[in-house]
Homo-oligomer: A and B are copies of this chain.
């Protein structure tokens, strides 16, 4: 069974709003094993909308639309779908009563054009709208189906969960289960290279890599008759991947992040941390503070952007700064040690680098970053080279440093 998502609305074509509905529906369809091969957006234009319906019905078993169910004249989705289906519009009394009660609750009078929202093509399955005046519906067109949903996400999503998912699952055989692995320290093409044989050999489960800033995500998806069976198919493939990628895999699951992995290790081993930042200017601390439970281990952060503050707050030696420069292995190490001591923590991390656009030289180009880690008295440092603009260099610094710290922690505390 495959579906196509058709979003209707000139505001989407003008870029006034982002089509988050398509993502939501696509993800939920993937969850229940309905394939989506196309998504489209069309404006509030009758002839283009008609053509879009024709095309979608040619390509897919189910066409799911969002938007264009409102009361005004430029809301054309239902009328156009009705024309495609070749069925008459029929009043649904229950929907009319709902719409009337909706207005009376708001203390407003229902306008005459809201009546049209209670009409549906004959034989439709009607989906109640808990949060608005536009009910949705499913219309049979031969062996295919058109599902009409309202545009506002807060109306569409509950309708999708409460009505559309149950409606669709009655036609299904098989279940999809997917698992996400999160990778840091390798580029997407490296990951694909390393997993080439596994990826090429697989059809069920499938393995899909996605890249985002500084990270790669692998989604392993399997299909089977039951959830349990599908889950079992994932396991051996996951094991093979883990054997190859090893510690580059930092976690699994939709909500796992580098900072959550680091924070959970710190909490598990009851180790406190403090950070001293120069080029990242607070981003590293902010990233750790993303994690809601961080307060039990994260003591403080120091944004020591000036040399004076590196000396005063972190006891970096003037001599070190003048001999090696602020962006150096030596300064990074003293910063890490300094924040450890002043904050009284088990672990201190530092960053110092040239984020640009100015400040670079042949010897120390823009993108050069040093990080220091002081852990239980031992001090390490690492040199990084990044490309990109100022923001990008700073973001990549945070990710790379967090990943490095994660690796140190997992070696030290396992």
Residues in chain A within 8 A of chain B (CB atoms): 10-20, 22-30, 36-43, 45, 48, 52, 55, 70-73, 102, 105-108, 111, 113-114, 130-131, 152, 154, 187-190, 192-193, 208-213, 217, 219, 275, 277, 279-290, 292, 294-295, 298-306, 308-309, 313, 343, 355-358, 367, 385-392, 394
A390 proximity list for chain B (CB < 8 A): 290, 292
How far is B73's CA from A114's CA once the two chains are assembled, in angstroms?
51
Task: Give the nearest-CB partner of A45 in chain B.
Answer: B37
**Other A-B pairs, 7, CB within 8 Å; known A130-B389, A154-B213, A298-B306:** A11-B208, A14-B36, A106-B386, A281-B288, A282-B301, A299-B305, A302-B303
A12 proximity list for chain B (CB < 8 A): 22-23, 26, 39
A284 proximity list for chain B (CB < 8 A): 282
How far is B18's CA from A22's CA once the two chains are assembled, in angstroms?
8
A187 proximity list for chain B (CB < 8 A): 108
How far is B73's CA from A294's CA once the two chains are assembled, in angstroms?
41
State the majority secondary structure of interface residues on A: mixed
Does A303 contact B303, Cβ atoms closer than 8 Å?
yes
A20 proximity list for chain B (CB < 8 A): 18
A51 nearest CB across to chain B (Å): 9
The 7 closest A-B pairs by CB, nearest first: A281-B289, A15-B27, A301-B303, A282-B282, A15-B26, A282-B285, A282-B286
A304 proximity list for chain B (CB < 8 A): 300
